[in-house]
Amino acid sequence: MKWNFDLKYLLATAVAIASLIFPIYLWQSDLKAHALSVRLISSSQLQPLASSKIYDVKVTVNGVELLNPYFSVFEIVNSGSKPILSTDFESPIIFSGNSDLSFVSARVDLTEPKDIPVKVTLETSKVSIAPFLSNPADKVYLSVITSGADPVISIKARIAGIREIEIVDSSVATRSPLLLCLDLIVSLICLTTYAIHVLMGPRQINRGLALASMAGCTLGGSVSMKRFIDGLGVTGGVETHEKWIIVSLFLAVSFATAFAIKKYFLKNAEKQTTTSAS
């Protein structure tokens, strides 16, 4: 079969491919700068029977009785690709709580790698972590015990190259498996449709419609793929390689499926041509 190349369509295809790569590039570009991530790993109530009239249970720390005590563990990780120097800090990392919440204990339980010198300062209204050197993928595990209201903890710091730090609550499921499957299916359908346009060209439909379809599939596929990967809990740092592996698998499956569909339709077209000729 003779192939006819349309320069305008090839140019449109190149633009569409660039639009597919560009969102992924923007998604990864922030990893080249400083990035600090904080995850709430667990938050457990230490006095689950406090409201019961049958049990007289009390929790004390250093002789002080605690009201509605919670034990929470946070993971602080350098999720960027560059070190964060102690000189990059304009202020310490500060954990603060809602009103009527008191911090009664705070300590670093573990660091990866070991022996990262992290200094923690405890106050009733906040917990401060002094500036320290953090290389890519370094992790610090901070545990705190609070008293009073149910803990709603926020974090703030002034660090060069980092606009803000948010706490991601991974102690509870944020996305259901059904939504993850939906994102997976939508992403594969969109990327496969895009790949079909690239491999087959606008043979049966208007070029403008084909270009609009490719742009829509690019946007829908990229957004759904990112939501799927984020839903898996894949974050920055060394796990960036996992992101690229997943992206490569998405593209490989989509183009392989599109190639199979193309062969199927071309084979049927050849059969119809042969039948018509005979």
Residue listed under structure tokens 């369509």: 9
The CA-based dihedral angle spanning residues 113, 118, 123, 126, taken in that order and rounded to the nearest 10 degrees: -60
Counting every residue, how long is the chain? 278
Burial call 193-207: b when 16+ CB within 10 Å, e when fewer: bbbbbbebbbeeeee
| 217-237 per-position pLDDT tens digit | 777 777 888 777 777 765 544
168, two tokens:
């991601």
Residue 35: closest CA among 256, 223, 236: 236
Residue 75: closest CA among 114, 30, 42, 120: 42
Residue listed under structure tokens 């249970």: 57
pLDDT for res 53? 52
**Domain covering 35-161 in this structure, CATH number:** 2.60.40.1170
> Where in the sequence of the chain do the CATH 2.60.40.1170 domains occur?
35-161
pLDDT for res 5? 45
pTM for this one?
A: 0.58
Q: Answer for the pair 258, 192: CB distance below 8 angstroms, yes or no.
A: yes
Q: Which residues of the chain have pLDDT under 70?
A: 1-33, 47-57, 62, 171-176, 199-210, 233-243, 266, 269-278
